[in-house]
Amino acid sequence: MKISKKSNSIFLVLITLSFVLTSFGILAAEKAIVLKGSTTVLPIAQPCAEVFMDQSPNIDISVQGGGSGVGIASLIDGTCDIGNSSRPAKEEEIKTAKEKGVEIYANIIARDAIAVIVNPANQVEGLTLDQIKDIYLGKISNWSEIGGKDQAIVVVSRDSASGTFETFNELVLKKEKLRPDALMQASNAAVATTVATTRGAIGYVGLGYVTDKVKAIKVNNTLPSKETVNDNSYPLARPLFMYTNGQPEGTIKEFLDFVLGAEGQKLVEENGFLSVQ
């Protein structure tokens, strides 16, 4: 069968196009960044990723939640490039990482406060750390015991994979056992929604999740705010992390440089958190 020069040319063009598209796919894959982890860090990671991708269209960034524990575990097992976390890496996580040839490197990208929130109908304006602890341990079960109405307290908490839970557990509960009837939620948004729609509820969220649908209360006579975190007067302040495998390089460094730069830190502030600059 005779093949015309025209058919041969079309064939060569298709082969060339296929090679170009395949090469482009490989190149695009090399420019992909995956972030996983803390839902507290999500309001920072998502807008930063969107703006960065607008400025660098050849780079694709995927941002997923799951909790701080998931973020660090994913970094260790190689299923993400950046592990978002609202708590420091644990010694056992660092040890496991080293065994797998991974160096957990901390990039502090913002500061935050854990705000204790109640339903807006609640007349209680503030609690001490000890009172909050007793509520979450089950020693206080009615708002009338701490200056509120005769109403059962509905305790709302983050799940154990959450860095927010880890920090709250350490700073407030002192690692004592959480009451068994607590409503465990998978995200800051879920905690805020539950508190907003449940009379008698109390919960805790990252500062960026405080809206007019919930009421942040004073802790040891101090409201959570940028000012009280900066002057260290609010007792539940913390750094936020984007962990990488060793010091960031290449495309990952470009993204983190953006997050830590003026534009990224402006997004941090716009979303209710504190800049580290």
Residue 6 is predicted with a pLDDT of: 46
Residue 58 is predicted with a pLDDT of: 94
Residue 82 is predicted with a pLDDT of: 98
pLDDT in tens, the chain (277 residues): 444 544 445 444 444 444 444 444 444 445 899 999 999 999 999 999 999 999 999 999 999 999 999 999 999 999 999 999 999 999 999 999 999 999 999 999 999 999 999 999 999 999 999 999 999 999 999 999 999 999 999 999 999 889 999 999 999 999 999 999 999 999 999 999 999 999 999 999 999 899 999 999 999 999 999 899 988 899 999 999 999 999 999 999 999 999 999 999 999 999 989 999 8
DSSP 8-state secondary structure symbol assigned to residue 237 = E
Fold exhibited by the domain 111-237:
D-Maltodextrin-Binding Protein; domain 2 (3.40.190)
Contact 216, 167 (CB under 8 A): no
Rounded to two decimals, the pTM is: 0.78
Question: Which of 161, 138, 155 shows the shortest CA–CA distance to 66?
Answer: 161
Residue 17 is predicted with a pLDDT of: 44
Cα end-to-end distance, the chain, whole Å: 72
5-110+240-270 is classed in which CATH architecture? 3-Layer(aba) Sandwich (3.40)
Phi and psi at 84, nearest 5°, equal: -75, 135
Residue 15 is predicted with a pLDDT of: 45
Q: Which amino acid is at 49?
A: A
The reply to whether 111-237 shares the fold of 5-110+240-270 is: yes
Tell me the domain boundaries of the chain. Answer: 5-110+240-270, 111-237
E-only strand ranges, 171-236: 183-185, 201-206, 215-216, 218-219
Contact 244, 105 (CB under 8 A): yes
Within a 10 A sphere around the Cβ of 94, how many other Cβ atoms? 16
Residue 20 is predicted with a pLDDT of: 42
